[in-house]
Amino acid sequence: MRLPRRNFLHLAAGAAALPAMPRVARAQTYPSRPVHWLLTTTPGGPADILARLIGQWLSERLGQPLVVEYRPGAGGNIGVEAVVRAPPDGYTLLLSASGHAINATLYDKLNFNFVRDIVPVAGLIRGPFVMVVNPTFPAKTVPEFIAYAKAHPGAINFASGGTGIASHLAGEMLKAMAGVNMIHVPYRGQAPAMTDLLGG
């Protein structure tokens, strides 16, 4: 396709004048102020340690503080809702976990749609689940634990970092697969659960 000479000259003159025109919209440097990273857990647990380590690393590279904030409660829904309600400007982030997606199936009426309202940015960690007991507990292996639980139905408590999070569902799965009756004790985070486990 040939461009008529007159049209070409108009386009060339417009392109030449473009750098002289004032820039109306310029991109702002990100971040230009502190970034808030919301955790839906309590301090002292795995998410807190991860956020503090990565937060320090990011702060040094971004030149702005990455402030770790805690919004535990309601299986993480309080913190997720705070992030969903924040302006979508990249200054309020969520340290998400599998429990946040699970909550969509556990709660009938949430004030947000996790899949629609939260956008993943980066995968940070994957970790295994490990069943642990206090050293004074008589069972030392999984078969011994199952045998003890069957012999003492309802006498064993299992702790989780909160209702609906992955550690809770893992305990429920163990109950179903092994055919044992254990009592779920939800905590407001993994750290307090571990403290009580160690304390007996």
The 10s digit of each residue's pLDDT in 87-133 is 999 999 999 888 888 888 888 889 999 989 999 988 888 878 889 99
Q: Which domains does the chain have, with CATH numbers?
A: 35-117 (3.40.190.150), 142-198 (3.40.190.10)
Percent of the chain at pLDDT above 70? 86
For CA atoms 39, 40, 43, 45, give the dihedral sign.
Answer: negative
Indicate if the pLDDT at residue 8 is higher than 50: no
The 10s digit of each residue's pLDDT in 140-169 is 999 999 999 999 999 999 999 888 888 899
Helix orientation angle between 142-151 and 166-178, rounded to the nearest 10 degrees: 70
Residue 125 has what pLDDT?
A: 83
Indicate if the pLDDT at residue 86 is higher than 90: yes
Backbone angles phi, psi at 38, to 5 degrees: -90, 135
Asked if 40 and 80 count as a contact pair (C-beta separation under 8 A), the reply is yes
Query: What is the average pLDDT score of the chain?
Result: 86
* Better pLDDT: 21 or 70: 70
Overall average pLDDT of the 11-40 stretch:
68
Indicate if the pLDDT at residue 66 is higher than 50: yes
CB-based burial of residue 28 (10 Å sphere; 0-12 exposed, 13-18 middle, 19+ buried)?
Answer: exposed
- Residue given tokens 């985070």 in the structure block: 189
DSSP assignment of 1-47? -PPPHHHHHHHHHHHHHGGGSPPS--PPPS-SS-EEEEESS-TTSHH
Indicate if the pLDDT at residue 11 is higher than 50: no
Residue 175 has what pLDDT?
A: 97
- Separation of alpha carbons 170 and 182, rounded Å: 12
The H-or-E segment that residue 93 falls in is strand 92-94
Q: Which neighbouring-strand residues pair with 160?
A: 186
- Separation of alpha carbons 148 and 190, rounded Å: 25
* Better pLDDT: 71 or 99: 71
